[in-house]
Amino acid sequence: MARGWESKAVEGQIEASRAEAEVKPLRTIPQQLETIRKREDLMLSRKRVLHDLEAAQNPRYRKILTAALAHLDDQLDRLTLN
């Protein structure tokens, strides 16, 4: 049986919708990878600051490291919320 123009148009819309749905996850993967990379970088920086803080004896340097640690924790919290 022959198909009408409208049914072909609807089929085309359905196929376009499916194709878009398949492409969307591919777009989010690079964003997810970027978020994971940023988190890993922040965690490594945090580990380094903690290590330096344990070894630091100068009160001014300890103050700087404590501020850096607070900043890194804030960045991690913001990254987690997004």
- What is the total count of domains within the chain? 1
Give me the pLDDT at residue 74, please.
96
In terms of Cα–Cα distance, which of 24, 35, 11, 51 is closest to 68?
51
Is-contact 72 46, C-beta < 8 A?
yes
Per residue in 15-60, pLDDT (tens digit) is: 777 766 665 666 668 888 899 999 999 999 999 999 999 999 999 9
Predicted TM-score (pTM) of the model is: 0.63
With a CB cutoff of 8 Å and minimum separation 6, the contacts of 65 are 49, 52, 53, 56
* pLDDT at residue 5 tops 90: no
Per residue in 64-80, pLDDT (tens digit) is: 999 999 999 999 999 88
């344990």: which residue's tokens?
54
Domain range for 26 is 5-81
Give me the pLDDT at residue 12, please.
73
